[in-house]
Amino acid sequence: MLYPAMDKLTSYVPNRYMLVNVVARRARQIAEAAEEAGEPLDEKPVTLAIHEVAEGRLEAGGVDPTAEEEGE
């Protein structure tokens, strides 16, 4: 992955492991919302989630790492 740079991403999310969790959770939300709306995505959900982090729209502050996903 060349863009966005890892140092830019970790400026919003403190470490790589939490970054993976934040991006994965947001990617699932994006995919589910697109499926419910019946809209095709131009890019993969993970790519969209990574770009949200890089733009500063998504941070780890609101993510509880101990919280379980809904439906589990």
Residue 33 is given by DSSP the state H
pLDDT tens-place string over residues 9-47: 888 888 889 999 999 999 999 999 999 999 999 999 999
Rounded Cα–Cα distance for residues 8 and 13 (Å)? 9
DSSP 5: -
Alpha helices in the chain (DSSP H): 6-9, 16-37, 45-54
Global pTM exceeds 0.85: no
Q: What is the pLDDT of residue 61?
A: 67
Report d(CA 10, CA 23) in Å as an integer.
12
Residue 2 has pLDDT above 70, yes or no: no
Residues with Cβ within 8 Å of residue 8, at least 6 apart in sequence:
54
Residue 70: its pLDDT value, please? Answer: 52
